[in-house]
Amino acid sequence: MTTLQHILSITNSGLQTSQAVVASASRNIANANTPGYAHETLPLSSQLGGLGVVAGTAIASRNALLEQGIAATSARLGFYQSQTNQLDSMELAFNDLDGTGLGISMRDFESAVSAVAANPASITDRGQMLESARSLAATFASTRESVARAANDANEQAVSIAQEINSLAQQVAQLNSRIRSARPGEERNSLISQRAAVIDSIGGRIGVDVVPRSDGTVSLISSSGRPIVDSTFPATLAVNVSPPPASEARVEFVGEGDTRLPAGSVGGELGGLVEFHNDIAQPALERIDELAYSFMDAFNEAHRSGFTLNGATGYDFFDLPSGAQGAASKVALSRDVDGHPENIAAAADLAAIPGDNTNALVLQGILSQDGVMADGSSVVNAWETLGSSVSHTLLRTQAGVDLEQASLDQLENLLASETGVNIDEELIRVTQANTALSAANTVLQELQTMTDTILGMVG
Amino acid sequence: MNPAVAELCERLDVHVELLDRLVEATQQQKKALLGYRPGTAERDERLSAANARLTELVTAVDRHGPRTRDAADVVARSYGQADYATLSALAATLPEPEREALRERLSCVRSLTEALAELSQINHLHARRGLQLVSAWRSIVTRGETTPTTYNAKGRPRSDTPTGSLTLNI
């Protein structure tokens, strides 16, 4: 090959390679902030016969280990975050710091009963006691409603997230299909980046293990071992709540045999919401109902044994519902005492009416009396334990959020430093490259002048 | 052999040695330039090392050139040649074996210089291509902004923005 052809060949290969390298750099810069994008490099090699340079297939810098770590951490973060959000709103119902709440109402009612005990003949104090009982009933109902709303919200969000997961699973399956038929290089790398971003989203919502397959597709496996996406086949999830009294939220595969995902095997936001619904909100609802029912039952029993101002006995104070389920929303005064303050049975001795307060003192102590609840505790203690349990769970999930968020930030930084695109670094590289090439250009110009001089001298 | 011719031959031998090293250094530079792309620090270092070596050798040749020219003048005077256009023309006027000895060295110098010229042209092409690449790369990184925005210690844009740091010498 002549020198001219040699030079033209090198120039041509150089120009083509330049275009490929610039296109690759352009994709890197354009995708600097694209989630899931991995920095792309273009391997270059000498053309056969040393006639210039040829660009190979673009390679995306991916780190499977870090990506798996991020997916797992995102799932745990989603789990704790969703529970924290729900607990934040539910905790308000258990928090008496604003001067309202069930604990305050219980103490107010105790005070009202205490006032009747201090002055059993006072119709005014008896009227105040009835008013306080109505207030307590309203607080029981509103507290139950808040918790029921939190449970319902969690369920609705879980249904919505399941739909999002279904949509994302379809996207992954479609991307899998396109990746399988894509040529290696730019197009395939771009599709893999898109898929990585979608998998991140799914991971945060349910928690999946990513299992790569030899054809370039991946399967997403749930913690139970059932695939959410099996290569190009997406599964469909649904969240259903069993009828009361169980009212258990269940995650199920649609249209398959035994499809229920076992409790505790669902991760991510969906797992957090389902666990919140089943293990926090529903038990709290049942406990509040039990509190209300046990209190009314014990109060009625004591009340029936006392005597009214008119000497009557055997009256219920509360209208006791037929069962504990929903009792907190059904607390109401019995027809015997509602509007009849004289029928409050404050006396234990018929002969000592109206000055006897013996039964009023018993009624005053019902809320704090051990053994009223089935587990042997008092109503007040049971309420405080429930409140502190909710607060403790909230603190635990908040700590989980902080921990997992810090881990996620660190892992994402590690991944970004390895596979991401840093504009500042690119600019530094450009400047360094410019310096080196300009120096080469200068010295080559001197070299050409020198060779001209020598050839002129030699002749 | 005529001592003046022997002296000139020695000077030309030094030239041959320097040119030989220059060819080697230019080949090293070619390796660093071939398929050049920004962001490969190792390649940048190799290119900078090759540039430094070439600069050193070019300086040595420039320093050595006048001595060769002086030695040739002495030869010309000793053979009564008032003027000569090239060293080849001077050699043609010399008797054997001085003529053959000089021609042999001049042939070496010529072939090495021609090889060097060809290599440097190829390297020049690679360097220009690399600089075009850097230019395109820079416009991508800066999104077409030719003046880099820099900030002072208080976080305000500098009024005395340094220029030239990104000037491309194509």
- DSSP notation for A387-440: HHHHHHHHHHHHHHHHHHHHHHHHHHHHHHHHHS--HHHHHHHHHHHHHHHHHH
Q: How far apart are CA A294 and CA A134, in angstroms?
A: 17
CA distance, residue B28 to nearest chain A CA (Å)? 12
DSSP chain B: --HHHHHHHHHHHHHHHHHHHHHHHHHHHHHHHTT--TT-HHHHHHHHHHHHHHHHHHHHHHHHHHHHHHHHHHHHHHTT-S--SSHHHHHHTSPTTHHHHHHHHHHHHHHHHHHHHHHHHHHHHHHHHHHHHHHHHHHHHTTT-SS---B-TTSPBPSS---STT----
Say how far apart CA A348 and CA A167 lie, in whole Å.
68
Asked, for residue B67, whether it belongs to a domain, the answer is: yes
With beta carbons less than 8 A apart as the criterion, state whether B72 and B84 touch: yes
CB A223 within 8 A of CB A265: yes
Total residues belonging to chain B: 170
Q: How far is CA A381 from the centre of its chain?
A: 30
Contact B140 A11 (CB under 8 A): no
- Helix, strand or coil for residue A367? coil
CA distance A430 to chain B (A): 6
Model pTM score: 0.63
- What are the pLDDT digits (tens) for B65-96? 888 888 988 988 888 877 888 889 888 888 88
Q: Does A118 touch chain B (CB under 8 A)?
A: no
Contact B35 A427 (CB under 8 A): no
For A141, phi and psi rounded to 5 degrees? -65, -45
A2: which 2 tokens?
Answer: 């002549």
Token representation of residue A57: 């297939």
Q: Which of B67, B72, B66 is nearest to B85 (CA)?
A: B72
CA A172 centroid distance within chain = 22
Stretch (H or E) spanning A77: helix A64-94
What ipTM, to 2 d.p.? 0.77
Chain A contact present for B27, CB below 8 A: no
Residue with tokens 């975050």: A81
Distance, in Å, from the CA atom of A130 to the CA atom of A135, rounded to the nearest integer, reads 9
- Give contacts of A 265-324 with B, CB under 8 A: none
Q: What's the burial of A212, exposed, middle or buried (CB within 10 Å: 0-12/13-18/19+)?
A: exposed
Positive or negative: CA dihedral B73, B79, B83, B84: negative
B162 domain-assigned: no
Mark which residues 75-134 of B lie under 8 Å from A by CB.
85-89, 106, 109-110, 113-114, 116-118, 120-134
Higher pLDDT, B170 or B148: B148
Residue B148's pLDDT is 47
Structure tokens, A402: 């902080």
CB pairs under 8 A between A and B: 172
The answer to whether B132 touches B170, Cβ cutoff 8 Å, is yes
Q: What tokens were used for B153?
A: 């210690």
Rounded distance between C-alpha atoms, residue A224 and residue A252, angstroms: 12
- pLDDT number for residue A214: 85
Comparing CA positions, the residue from A190, A266, A197 lying closest to residue A228 is A266
CB atoms within 10 A of CB A9: 16
> What's the pLDDT at A20?
67
Q: Evaluate whether residue B71 is within a structural domain.
A: yes
Four-residue CA torsion sign, A346, A350, A354, A358: negative
pLDDT attached to residue A212: 84
Instruction: Using CB atoms, pick whichever of A6, A447, A454 lies closest to residue B109.
Output: A454
The shortest CB-CB distance from B116 to any of A3, A447, A456 is to: A447
Give the Cα separation of A327 and A141 in Å (integer).
9
The span from the CA of B17 to the CA of B91, in Å, is 20
Compute how many other C-beta atoms are within 10 angstroms of the C-beta atom of residue A383.
24
**Rounded Cα–Cα distance for residues A31 and A33 (Å):** 5
Tell me the nearest-neighbour CA distance from A226 into chain B, angstroms.
44
Distance CA A107, CA A291 (A): 15
Q: Are strands A40-41 and A59-60 parallel, antiparallel or unpaired?
A: antiparallel
- Asked if A440's CB is within 8 angstroms of B47's CB, the reply is yes
**Tens of pLDDT along B3-28?**
888 999 999 999 999 999 999 999 98
- Decide if B43 is inside a domain: yes
Contacts of A160 (CB under 8 A, 6+ apart): none
Residue B159 lies in a domain: no
Residue B133 lies in a domain: no
- Number of compact structural domains in chain B: 1
Cα angle for residues A427, A433, A437 (degrees, 5° grid): 150
B37 lies in a domain? yes
CATH number of the domain bearing residue B46: 1.20.58
Domain span at residue B68 reads 3-127
Residues of chain A with pLDDT under 70: 1-27, 29-39, 41-62, 186, 256-259, 263-264, 418-430, 432
In a domain, B169, yes or no: no
Q: State how far Cα B137 lies from the chain centre.
A: 28
Closest by Cβ to A448, choosing from B37, B106, B117: B117
Please tell me the distance from the alpha carbon of residue B10 to that of residue A85, in angstroms, as a whole number. 89
What does the alpha-carbon distance between residue A432 and residue A439 come to, in Å, rounded to a whole number?
Answer: 11
**What is the structure's pLDDT at B167?**
41
Write down the pLDDT at residue A136.
94
Which residues sit opposite A158 in a β-bridge?
none
Please state, in angstroms and rounded to a whole number, the distance separating the CA atoms of residues A208 and B1: 90
pLDDT (0 to 100) of residue A224:
75
Task: Report the distance separating Cα A343 and Cα A115, nearest Å.
Answer: 16
| Rounded (10°) angle between helices A268-275 and A64-94 | 30
Of A433, A436, A458, the CB nearest to B110: A458
Burial A426-458 (b: 16+ CB within 10 A, else e): bbebbbbbbbbbbbbbebbebbbebbeebbebb
Assign A67 to helix, strand or coil: helix
